[in-house]
Amino acid sequence: MDATTTPATQVATVKLLIGGQFVESKTSEWRDIVNPATQEVLARVPFATQAEVDAAVASAKDAFKTWRKTAIGARARIFLKYQQLIREHMGELAAILTAEQGKTLPDAEGDVFRGLEVVEHAAGIGNLQLGELANNVANGVDTYTLLQPLGVCAGITPFNFPAMIPLWMFPMAIVTGNTFVLKPSEQDPMVTMRLCELALEAGIPPGVLNVVHGGEAVVNAICDHQDIKAISFVGSTKVGTHVYNRATLAGKRVQCMMGAKNHAIVMPDAHKEQSLNALLGASFGAAGQRCMAVSVAVLVGDARKWIPDLVEKSKGLKVGAGIEKGVDVGPLVSCAAHDRVTGLIDRGVAEGAKLELDGRKHSVPGYEKGNFVGPTIFSGVKPGMTIYDQEIFGPVLCLAGADSIDEAIEMINANPNGNGTAIFTQSGAAARRFQEDIDVGQVGINVPIPVPVPMFSFTGSRASKLGDLGPYGKQVVLFYTQTKTVTARWFDDDTAHGLNTTISLK
């Protein structure tokens, strides 16, 4: 990825966080952070040097010596304070996020809030990091387990949720006793950095949380660093596969949440208005830049007659700058993203899908330079078409048809991705059959974007996930800890109990 070379004196610079201090990078490689609605350069982000990555890891490694022994109640209280600070600064955080990423203000607040839920969950670590005890497993012998931190952990986050996904990662890693090195997306790191400022204000000690910025070279440095024990990644399949292969080869524990092609089945008995509204929100919200967005709707039987109603509702959505009130669909994050999405729409037309609603060349008065693509709908989409096979990551909804629920399930299970799926129906029997037979990690029943609350874990599957354990919830406590099993016997006196040359406990 190329970095720009705008003179440093023209705009503010994003800092690194190393050893509790926000420091200016000494790199010669920078990238502009651009408002996607206006093309205004908001700031410049550095591509950290190898020495700066090493310094961040060294700071985390040194801080781990004391942080790992910090009382669990003290760790929990920091995150109680942190969630309070996030709530107090919600409006500010949403405004920063909207300016650099393009989301509408309500969606930006939702981005922050879903991360806040994980922070709240982290504050309950006293109940989450419990071990197990079996008393008197043999004569006077007890066995118990300890969930102990790993050491320095790292996170690599994407552009589409610059608040939520960092908050999925570092709070749970840190509250379990680890230290952390975070690499935010170089496209929109400003809200992430503000969250890190608040984290330090909440009481996270110097060196426990560190931040480096950059592209492929920094990602590789994190994957290769011998002192990093575990890496959490969310992003594209291409980069995620690279991270997983490279980091596991280096002996690290890795979880990668990657690309998706999420389907929703619409049964003919579904509540029509609720189902259509849900499809619109799940397909076009955040300009379709969600890994859990519904990008394919499989209309079963007579539900195919609802296409004109879906198109008409979509025409009523307002496209514009995220900061404006009443906007439903904001801009795509970059000019490159805009060109990619419009190019895929072109491919869809060329390959024979019917373009029911065309969002190309969408101009917003006052924001003529913005990366806008309006809601776009194709019908007659089939596997093998580029718009079906590829993750578009834009406000494009593909409509496919099926004669039965069996045919619809077969189509979804044949797709290599398994991030999320949904069914809209009023039949309990159909819903139960769907949840049992579908081979996808996260299932919604009349819920279009079934992202679990933090008491559970994000559970994408198949090509959408590499690694056994998911982010947040109970699974991530296991990811960020090592289980140590202790078998202990204490004697009441010096009486010898005899020599035992077997492996049994007596």
The answer to whether 164 touches 114, Cβ cutoff 8 Å, is: yes
- pLDDT over 60 (residue 443): yes
In the block, which residue shows the tokens 């049992």?
436
Taking only the tens place, the pLDDT of each residue in 81-102 is 999 999 999 999 999 999 999 9
Q: What's the rounded mean pLDDT across residues 389-396?
A: 97
d(CA 340, CA 428) in angstroms, rounded, equals 40
Which residues have CB under 8 Å from 347's CB, separation 6+?
386, 387
What 3-state DSSP class applies to 317?
A: coil
The reported pLDDT for the residue numbered 491 is: 86
The reported pLDDT for the residue numbered 9 is: 55
The reported pLDDT for the residue numbered 4 is: 52
Q: What's the rounded mean pLDDT across residues 429-447?
A: 97
The answer to whether 47 touches 27, Cβ cutoff 8 Å, is: yes
The reported pLDDT for the residue numbered 407 is: 98
Q: What's the rounded mean pLDDT across residues 316-338?
A: 97
- pLDDT over 90 (residue 12): yes
The reported pLDDT for the residue numbered 501 is: 79
Which residues have CB under 8 Å from 63's CB, separation 6+?
179, 205, 206, 207, 208
Q: How confident is the model at residue 427 (pLDDT cuts 50, 70, 90)?
A: very high
- pLDDT over 90 (residue 10): no
Taking only the tens place, the pLDDT of each residue in 467-493 is 989 999 999 999 999 999 999 999 877
The reported pLDDT for the residue numbered 121 is: 97
User: What's the chain's average pLDDT?
Assistant: 95
- Is 291 in the active site? yes
The reported pLDDT for the residue numbered 497 is: 65
- pLDDT over 70 (residue 380): yes
The reported pLDDT for the residue numbered 77 is: 98
Q: How confident is the model at residue 241 (pLDDT cuts 50, 70, 90)?
A: very high
d(CA 80, CA 9) in angstroms, rounded, equals 39
Give me the percent of the chain exceeding a pLDDT of 70: 97
The reported pLDDT for the residue numbered 227 is: 98
Q: What's the rounded mean pLDDT across residues 1-15?
A: 66
d(CA 102, CA 335) in angstroms, rounded, equals 12
d(CA 59, CA 92) in angstroms, rounded, equals 29
The reported pLDDT for the residue numbered 495 is: 66
Sign of CA dihedral 278, 279, 281, 282: positive
Which residues have CB under 8 Å from 84's CB, separation 6+?
none
Spell out the alpha helix ranges (H) of 123-156.
125-128
d(CA 61, CA 149) in angstroms, rounded, equals 12
What DSSP line would sit under 332-349, residue for residue?
A: -SSHHHHHHHHHHHHHHH
The reported pLDDT for the residue numbered 1 is: 36
d(CA 342, CA 395) in angstroms, rounded, equals 10
- pLDDT over 50 (residue 2): no
Q: What is the greatest pairwise CA distance in the chain?
A: 90
- pLDDT over 90 (residue 500): no
β-bridge mates for residue 264, sequence order:
297, 422
Tokens for 421? 């799926």
- pLDDT over 70 (residue 5): no
The reported pLDDT for the residue numbered 94 is: 98
The reported pLDDT for the residue numbered 119 is: 98
Of 229, 236, 235, the residue nearest 250 (C-alpha): 229
The answer to whether 150 touches 253, Cβ cutoff 8 Å, is: yes
State the catalytic residue, choosing from 153, 223, 256, 291.
291
